[in-house]
Amino acid sequence: MATHRHQCLVYEGSPSQHLPALAAALKHKLGDNYRCLYLNSPVMVAGMRSCLASQGLDVFHHTSKGSLVLSSERHHLLDGCFDVDRMLADLEDAVESSLKEGYKGLLATGDISWEFGPQKDFSKLLEYESRLEEFLQRHPAFSGICQYHADSLPPEALRQGVLTHPSIFINETLSRINPDYLPATNTESGSPAN
């Protein structure tokens, strides 16, 4: 698996094209006794459910026992806007409950376009990704794959996404070091520091 736990998946075209690789990553982590969270639109959640089943995973068993969470809920939105504190608090609760319930940790993956809500206001994206990287440093049992649909995101949001991830997700067993990653960011100015 990847040396970095904060990965970025940038894709073009139909979102369903990358589901098999993400499903394989979830299946792999479930096999290693991790809880897995997939956050996306209802259509994509249904697609992930189907993709996992086609890869031989007993989806009903894993969702029933809580090791697999497939969700379209957006409790982290405040009046329809993305709330960084709420999202990170939700992730912290999910990591803590996963460990208390005997899992080795939590793998979470979500599509940024869906997570940021219907208003598509990406003004807090850089802050979120920077704080998420700090969160990962404090929570070694957590790993995440942030999905960026190049066709539906503004160029600046896509650029910020690429710059804030140490590695790029390729598939369940392969990632590559991100040569564009800038570890130090200046969230006040809204652009990575040089």
Contact 182, 164 (CB under 8 A): yes
Does the model's pTM come out above 0.75? Answer: yes
> Cα separation of 142 and 99, whole Å?
10
In 3-state terms, what secondary structure has residue 35? strand
In this predicted structure, what is the pLDDT of residue 118?
85
> Cα separation of 57 and 53, whole Å?
5
Residue positions counted in the chain: 194
> Cα separation of 58 and 17, whole Å?
22
Q: At 92, which amino acid appears?
A: E
pLDDT per residue of the chain (194 residues) written in tens, 0 to 9: 335 789 999 999 998 899 999 999 999 999 999 999 999 999 999 999 999 999 999 999 999 999 999 999 998 888 888 999 999 999 999 999 999 999 999 999 999 998 898 888 899 999 999 999 999 999 999 999 999 999 999 999 999 999 999 999 988 888 899 899 888 544 344 444 43
In this predicted structure, what is the pLDDT of residue 85?
95
- Residue 123: DSSP 8-state: T
Map out the domains of the chain as residue ranges.
6-192
In this predicted structure, what is the pLDDT of residue 172?
83
Contact 60, 29 (CB under 8 A): no
> Cα separation of 50 and 53, whole Å?
5
Virtual CA dihedral for 134, 83, 7, 190, nearest 10 degrees? Answer: -70
CATH of the structural domain 6-192, one choice from 3.40.50.20, 3.40.50.300, 3.40.50.170, 1.10.10.520: 3.40.50.300
> Cα separation of 155 and 52, whole Å?
31
Which strand (E) or helix (H) includes residue 129? helix 125-138
> Could you tell me which residues come within 8 angstroms of residue 136 by beta carbon, excluding any fewer than 6 positions away?
5, 6, 142, 143, 144
The residue to which tokens 């259509």 are assigned: 43
> Could you tell me which residues come within 8 angstroms of residue 157 by beta carbon, excluding any fewer than 6 positions away?
112, 122, 125, 148
Cβ-count burial 164-181 (b if 16+ within 10 Å, e if not): bbbbbbeebeebeebeeb
